[in-house]
């Protein structure tokens, strides 16, 4: 997929470092600060949602949608420029599903601006790393990662 305005933007912004989100000063770091502002921002996952929509997959923030994503033919692996961005989105989407379906979980923004999912046990999961691994290799599958996170 080649969108000229995105290509120029991507060249100026290195995706290798992952996603960084900086909460508002009103925010308490639980992922829902400022009226859920950055939780909603993390849930956008525009590139992934667009890809899924074109493939006929509805992303409704449920574990079943993670299974549907796992079934997609990974044509994106041919596009080295898109791969890290899609991986970021896949990780953020995985985190969104976890936060919305697993009681006691929430987003936590680390001091360097990296989002992680914090489980009720206090354990933190780097879902962006999980998403990037899935985008590049297909393993572990997103649903499998969700199942492992949800069981803890």
Q: For residue range 46-104, what is the model confidence (pLDDT) as tens digits?
A: 999 999 999 999 999 999 999 999 999 999 999 999 999 999 999 999 999 999 999 99
Task: Give percent of the chain above pLDDT 90.
Answer: 70
**Domain encompassing residue 62:** 28-151
pTM, 2 dp:
0.78
Q: Is residue 23 part of a domain?
A: no
* Bridging pattern class, strands 106-109 and 115-118: antiparallel
Q: Is residue 17 part of a domain?
A: no
**Per-residue CA distances from 62 to 27, 74, 98, 117 (Å):** 26, 21, 8, 16
Total domain count for the chain?
1
Q: Is residue 10 part of a domain?
A: no
- Please tell me the distance from the alpha carbon of residue 133 to that of residue 90, in angstroms, as a whole number: 10
Span 121-149, pLDDT tens digits:
999 999 999 999 999 999 999 999 999 99
Q: Is residue 131 part of a domain?
A: yes
Q: Is residue 4 part of a domain?
A: no
């Amino acid at each position: 997929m080649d969108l000229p305005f995105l290509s120029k933007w991507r060249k100026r912004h290195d995706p290798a470092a992952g996603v960084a989100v900086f909460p508002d000063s009103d925010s308490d770091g639980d992922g829902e600060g400022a009226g859920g502002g950055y939780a909603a921002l993390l849930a956008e996952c525009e590139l992934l949602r667009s890809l899924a929509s074109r493939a006929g997959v509805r992303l409704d923030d449920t574990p079943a949608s993670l299974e549907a994503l796992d079934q997609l033919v990974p044509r994106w692996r041919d596009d080295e420029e898109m791969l890290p961005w899609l991986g970021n989105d896949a990780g953020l989407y995985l985190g969104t599903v976890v936060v919305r379906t697993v009681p006691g979980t929430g987003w936590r923004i680390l001091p360097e601006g990296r989002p992680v999912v914090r489980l009720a046990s206090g354990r933190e999961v780097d879902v962006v790393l999980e998403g990037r691994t899935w985008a590049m290799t297909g393993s572990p599958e997103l649903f499998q990662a969700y199942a492992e996170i949800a069981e803890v």
